[in-house]
Structure 1
Amino acid sequence: MYLGRDRAHVHALICMLPRAACAAAELLAGVSVPGVPEVLELHTADEPPWASLAHIPAVTLAAVAGSTTGTLEPQPADRIRALGGALCETLAGLHQQGVSYGALVPSGVWLTTGRPLLMALSSCRTSPTAERGRRDEEIVPPSALPAPFMAPETVGGRVSSQAADIYALGVLLAHATTGRFPFGEGPPEVLAYRASHGKAELHGLPADLAEAVAAALAPVPGDRPTAAELSQTSALTRTTPVADGPAPGKVIIALAAQAQETADLGEGADRDLPRRTDVATRPLHRAADGPTRSSATGQTSPAGPLTRRALLSRLATGVAGAVLGAGTSLAWTATREPADRSLPDRPLATAPLPGLPPTALWRFDDVTARTTLLRVAGAGRYLVTRGETLHAHEVRSGKEVWERPIAFGRANPVLLVGGGRILVQTRDALVLCSLGDGRTHWIDRTFHTQNTTVLELLAVEGDTVWLHMGPAAGASATTHALAAFDLAARRELWRSELPADFVYELSLTPTPAGLLVEVLPEVDPHRDPYGTRKVPLACFDRTTGRSLWQRTYEGVYSGPASAVDETGRFYVLSTGRARAYDATPGSQLWESTLRFGGQHSPLLLTGTLLCETDPVNGVVALDRDTGRTVWQQRLDEPLQWFLLGTMATSASGRTLFVPTRRQLAALDLRSGERLWQMAFVGREDPSPLQLLATPDVLIVAQPSVVFALPAV
């Protein structure tokens, strides 16, 4: 099959046909079979014979679910039920027309954003009947199917039939579910003997699916159910169309890549088209394109050119554009280098199509599934940790640049300190190094003693960094302190003892009135989302470290329900309301009229807005000065607190990125309008997606994969 295009840029699949397939193609021309693309034109008198089919973006099951050994990776049983039900309906339609498919193997089943397709027209044959024999050229040769999919009666070049399609379907369903062939592997004759005299190995299949597959694998063709009968079994009955649910993530990745390649082929326009061929002069139209028909000629003419926008719009019909299959049987292959589809040399500022997510620029896979994205980027680099190693990657390509061992504190062990440098907390020292190449500027071990050590790097401003000091492992000391350190002079400026309850993870915000230090909630995946807690807040003098004041806020939701801004305002979600305080005098500034639940995302302060996500309100933006609701936007997902990740904004301040465990949405920060939304199918990791916005790129991560999207 080839991808053809006429001068109006309308695409179609051009299929070269063997003579043995011409009769079947003639039976399918002019009829509609669900799951079989429409035959647009048929030329069986030409040499070679050819047909054109409606072009629907699709990738083979073998391409997206195949392993390195040539077999299929095991797929979830529910996915195989839906696949099997759809294929039964398509086979029933083909068989009703008197056509057997003859290619029901992973490479002969195409996956789309909707239902799967059977479009190997060159393998179709007219089915033998009692009244009509079969000519020799209609016999499917032994090599047409892989041996495990060949029905016993077809071995040796004997006639293929509708019953042989059912047998191949049974093998496909068993293999796709378990990753094994029901009669093992070997020469066709050996497998035919096993199928005729042995019992299929169906261990691992659900009982009802195993029953349906066993019936399809009956050694006698007449004992096998028809496709219509098989589609009515409880194991394969589809209560909803396949298109109602999102497609597996790797299917969407492959389709997006295919669409990009198709669009790139079209950029040369007509100069690359042959001058005097049928492909160039005959219109090859899709019924779905909305063509018009000329009353004078009776020929269809295109409603308009198939632009990249139109192609991608059709690609994403019914789904939001999933890009992740990691953590499932459709996972990307883990590599230590960026994938082949890395696009480091392409412009990053490509305008996204309305409603559709942008194409991923690159991805990087971690076979150990230990990747944590740090909120540090600069000098064209971003940072991640894997285990106890710090890794730097290029923002534009995802390529790993350098790595070094680190020791983990209870929070971010790296701070961006300006000048293309980072401060790294290692096992026994503070290390200042270059973000670009990892080169060390200096190492300081004065903070690490027998009794005390650096627990956290809190914040940096200019050449001053603030540290959370605490007892070293095995030390008898129990006091915690806040320390200031001059990076240029490499000396401690001051150290101040922290209050007794400031022993967990801390957050420090430099403000004109002083250093505001907040105790963050403990990370507890089993916390009560409706519980409340007390939030201690203290202020220290910037110059001397002297304690200025301390107060406690009651009834704050147990999750990350508070934030401090650079002016000294303190925002909390407390007992159903969002509240803002002037932290220095402690006076309340406003209280929201909108009520919030305990199941919420971390608060995000951006520009003039305070943003929050919860299951009741969706995404909410409040005015930071008044608490007035500026806009609300709901997400297409039932939200619970453990699904809500930390939001991010683009460097331009125009786009808000909202992550959950299963989706990523991009919203216009001014209006809340949804710009696009991605669905991540099959993710097993329970944590929300991690985000990092750089000037041109949004980096998205989970433990097993990191990828980049254009960000505006």
Structure 2
Amino acid sequence: MLTYTACGRPPFGEGRPAEVLYRITHQDPELEAVPEELRPLLADCLAKEPGARPTAAAVAERAGGQGWFGDRLPAPVLADIAARTARIGGPPPPRTASAPPGSARLTRRRLLTGAAAVALAGAGGAVWATRPEEQRAGRTAKAPEPGASPSRTGAGRPGGPLGGPPGARWEYRADVNVGTRRVAALVDGTLLVPASDNQVHGIDARRGAPRWTAEGIGGHLRACGTAAVGRGTGPSGRLAGVEASDGRVWFSAPLGVSFALLLAPVFAADTRTVYAMGHRPGAGYGDKPQDLERHLLAYDLAARRLRWRRRLPPSDAEGAVGAVAEGVLLFLENDAVTAYRADSGAPMWRRALAATALDRRYDELTDRTVAAGHGVAVIGGRGCLCVDLRTGRTRWSVDPEELGTELKGHVMYGGSTIAGSAVYVTIVGQDLVAVGRDDKKRLWSWERPGTLSGGASPPPLLAGGYVFPQTGNGLGGAPEDAVAVDLRTHRTAWTLKSVDSEPADVQLLADPRTLYVLRGNRLRAHPLP
């Protein structure tokens, strides 16, 4: 009661009864928002061992209105506080038949001026009100929908109870989702999460509070500078961007292409430029992609102008896959990977790939992936190929049959992450192997329990001293939201089990201190050490 009165949050968060009971039993209370003067008292009152909790007399003595603040209150105020205190615990007044219409309901403000006044006075009289940043959270492009509900879910202590997974610092629920057609982004402390009807919710990454709701932008977002960019929802071949700070939406001029046949036309971005693919102007539903010429383009967000555009031959792929690093743009086809100068679009090199990897079950999306950085590019598919980023010459390769003949013909290698001298590669859609960037030397491997999932999975995510393998979209229903593999021991450090009973795709995002898990209509923040 005192914790909620002091900060407006229950000490063990909110959620399902079983979740709250687990946190009460195994986690420390969340008291960081409580005034410092009250924290020791409330921490003692919430001790796990009953014998460690103070008696009622001890609580009354520690919160008894004495000391610097209480001694300076006028006598009538002290008398009023004493009278309110005497009424606490007494029998309730007789119940009336019904409350009159429009009667005031119990609110946090009324609680603050009621029975808890004595505790606040004894703690030094800290005046506790809504913080200015909480008031500003609603001054956005559009007020969030009524269904959106951020909540504090627990202490969120890194490492969790007894070395287990970290509890969620906060949880946000709304009409949001991710998958093949929707991808969230993290920009400057704001999580930009796609929702239905071409909406995007902006969520404060630190507190889980909704900042704004924007409209008119396709759900597959790509972070670039201070914004996230996707395709505009109209027929005019425009890109749409939403500013992370305030939810302001802007549109490019018509770019002379159509994005109507593409799930994710924006496929790569650097600090100021996004790279996209489109078909000839006027292309729409009912047209066959394999009959249409395509255009590869670079759009400068800082200057709000088209930087360059190149014509490409037709293809039946309905998605674009690529990467950009160190001034080189890579564009992945089903049978080749081509490198362009990122600043001008001039071709640099082209490497043919041995066999196509086209998954015709899922909208003609390629099952190949490409990553770039630290002077190399890594292409995953049935095999794995590492080439020099500037020349396209082979550094090393892994033959598809190295994993055994029983998996012949399957896409074996998913997304890769290049970090320093190591490359972290997803295998069979769920397992992980770390190899040397320059020599393919096997450094270590990790295997996820369970059956093979296959397919092109997103690249592993590195954050907080862990690597988080990811499974492919469309494979929803995994029993866990995230698995943390320790980069020092190469073993599973902890696992975040899913609290949802229905299958759903999962997307992981991270900053240096927090892992963000988006699954179904839930977005959760888990602290990292």
Query: What TM-score range do you get, normalising by the shorter chain?
Result: 0.5 to 0.7
Kept in 2: contact 1:580–1:590 (CA 8 A): yes
Structure of higher CA gyration radius: 1
Kept in 2: contact 1:601–1:613 (CA 8 A): yes
Residue number among 355, 358, 370 corresponding to 1:563 in the alignment: 370
1:503 and 1:443 map into 2 onto residues whose CA distance is 26
Distance 1:637 1:355, change over 3 A: farther
Residue deviations 1:643-676, cap 9 Å, x none?
Answer: 96653221x4x21123451122101123312211
Residue number among 423, 443, 446 corresponding to 1:610 in the alignment: 423
Alignment partner, residue 305 of structure 2: 491
Worse-superposed segment, 389-398 or 476-485: 476-485
Kept in 1: contact 2:380–2:413 (CA 8 A): no
Distance 1:536 1:382, change over 3 A: same
Q: CA deviation at 1:261?
A: 5.8
1:579 equivalent to 2:385? Answer: yes
Alignment partner, residue 126 of structure 1: none
Distance 1:621 1:671, change over 3 A: farther
Aligned pairs (5 A) from 1:236-635: 251-252=18-19, 254-260=21-27, 267=44, 272-274=53-55, 336-338=147-149, 340-342=151-153, 350-353=158-161, 355-366=163-174, 370-371=177-178, 374-387=183-196, 388-408=198-218, 412=220, 414-418=221-225, 420-428=226-234, 429-440=238-249, 442-447=250-255, 456-471=265-280, 472-474=282-284, 478-501=292-315, 503-512=317-326, 514-519=328-333, 534-555=334-355, 560-567=367-374, 569-573=376-380, 578-582=384-388, 584-592=390-398, 595=403, 597=407, 598=410, 600=412, 602-607=414-419, 608-614=421-427, 618-635=431-448
1:492 and 1:337 map into 2 onto residues whose CA distance is 37
1:667 equivalent to 2:485? Answer: yes
2:24 and 2:512 map into 1 onto residues whose CA distance is 25
Match of 2:449, as an amino acid? D
Match of 2:164, as an amino acid? L
Q: CA deviation at 1:338?
A: 3.3
1:507 and 1:421 map into 2 onto residues whose CA distance is 20
Distance 1:433 1:512, change over 3 A: closer
2:339 and 2:467 map into 1 onto residues whose CA distance is 31
Residue number among 637, 661, 680 corresponding to 2:498 in the alignment: 680
Residue number among 451, 455, 468 corresponding to 1:657 in the alignment: 468
Residue deviations 1:461-514, cap 9 Å, x none?
Answer: 343332212234449882211122333333323211123338532233334574
Kept in 1: contact 2:338–2:349 (CA 8 A): yes
Distance 1:508 1:701, change over 3 A: same
Kept in 1: contact 2:429–2:455 (CA 8 A): no
Q: CA deviation at 1:604?
A: 2.5
Alignment partner, residue 69 of structure 1: none
1:544 and 1:535 map into 2 onto residues whose CA distance is 24
2:417 and 2:434 map into 1 onto residues whose CA distance is 10
Match of 1:391, as an amino acid? H
Match of 2:352, as an amino acid? T
2:30 and 2:346 map into 1 onto residues whose CA distance is 63
Residue deviations 1:572-619, cap 9 Å, x none?
Answer: 4465x5432235544322245963753657322141332234469943
Name the SS for the 2:164 alignment partner.
coil
Residue deviations 1:444-468, cap 9 Å, x none?
Answer: 3322678999961233334333221
Q: Which runs of 5+ in 2 are unaligned?
A: 1-14, 32-41, 59-144, 359-365, 472-477
Kept in 1: contact 2:372–2:389 (CA 8 A): no
Match of 1:562, as an amino acid? T
Alignment partner, residue 692 of structure 1: 509
Name the SS for the 1:565 alignment partner.
strand
Q: State the number of aligned residues.
A: 382
Match of 2:254, as an amino acid? T
Residue deviations 1:26-76, cap 9 Å, x none?
Answer: xxxxxxxxxxxxxxxxxxxxxxxxxxxxxxxxxxxxx96xxxxxxxxxxxx
Kept in 1: contact 2:27–2:161 (CA 8 A): no
Aligned pairs (5 A) from 1:96-111: none
1:396 and 1:502 map into 2 onto residues whose CA distance is 42
1:499 and 1:449 map into 2 onto residues whose CA distance is 14
Q: What TM-score, normalized by structure 2, do the two folds share?
A: 0.61
2:314 and 2:275 map into 1 onto residues whose CA distance is 19
Looking at secondary structure, tell me which structure has more helix per residue. 1
Distance 1:643 1:707, change over 3 A: farther
2:490 and 2:444 map into 1 onto residues whose CA distance is 6
Distance 1:689 1:257, change over 3 A: farther
1:708 equivalent to 2:520? Answer: no
Match of 2:314, as an amino acid? A
Distance 1:682 1:462, change over 3 A: closer
Q: Which runs of 5+ in 1 are unaligned?
A: 1-62, 65-249, 278-333, 520-533
Q: CA deviation at 1:546?
A: 3.1
Kept in 2: contact 1:633–1:673 (CA 8 A): yes
Match of 2:446, as an amino acid? Q
Q: What TM-score, normalized by structure 1, do the two folds share?
A: 0.47
